[in-house]
Amino acid sequence: MTKVIVQGKARGLVLKTNNPINFLGAVDKQTGTIHDKKHDIFEKSIKDSVLVFPHGVGSSVGAYTIYSLKENGTAPVAMICQKADLTVASGCALANIPMIIVSSDEFESIENGKELEVDTESSNVLN
């Protein structure tokens, strides 16, 4: 089951991690690079990606980080999570970044590096 949290349509390359993301603590909002050394996508840039991660964690101010990424042109084009959290949901809502929740099976099946389109108006959502 796919659930739409923020509507929209976008296409990009999947950047996938199985670790939750603390946007305030782990992401450089100027560059979009993950700077938490303990994170498995350390030094990877989330810019223009379809970012696939289980859910957001940590500071509520992470919502501002998502908004800043968008303003700085370093944001993902879409986000796909397994579980919704308010920080990511509200950050994406204000920044107009399409965001959806997918089931564990769907989450598993998304391949890192693959081109993917998110379209919340389409019946498939993921293409």
Partner 1 sequence: MEFTKEEEKALNGEMGETLQTAYRILLATGEATNAESLIPIKWAHLSGVNYNTIGDSGEEFLRNISKDAKVKVKTTVNPMGFDVDHISEFDHIDNDFVEKQKSIRDSYIRMGVEPTFSCTPYDIFDLPQKDTQVSFAESNAAIFANSLGGLKTNKESAFSALASAITGKSPYSDLRKDGFEIPTTIRMKLENPNELDFGLLGFFAGKVADTSVNISGVSQPNRRSCKSLCGGMGTSGTCAKFQFVDEENNSSEKIDFGKEEMQKIHDELNTSDNGDLITLGSPQLGLEEISDLSNMLKGKSFQKRCMIFCSRAVQNQARHLDYTNEIERAGGEILSDCCTCLTPLIDTNEVDSVITNSVKGAYYLKNSTGVDVNLKPLSKIVQEETN
Active site residues: 59
Minimal distance, residue 115 CB to partner 1, in Å: 26
Tell me which of 67, 80, 102, 120 binds partner 1, using CB under 8 A: 67
Q: Does 29 sit near partner 1 (CB under 8 A)?
A: yes
Rounded to whole angstroms, the Cα distance separating 125 from 48 reads: 18
- Smaller CB separation from partner 1, 12 or 58: 58
Residue found by looking up tokens 């350390």 in the block: 42
Strand 99-101 relative to strand 3-6, pairing: antiparallel
Rounded to whole angstroms, the Cα distance separating 108 from 112 reads: 10
Rounded to whole angstroms, the Cα distance separating 117 from 32 reads: 20
Minimal distance, residue 109 CB to partner 1, in Å: 22
User: Which residues form the interface with partner 1 (CB under 8 A)?
Assistant: 3-6, 20, 22, 24-26, 29, 35-36, 38, 55-65, 67-68, 71-72, 83-94, 99, 101
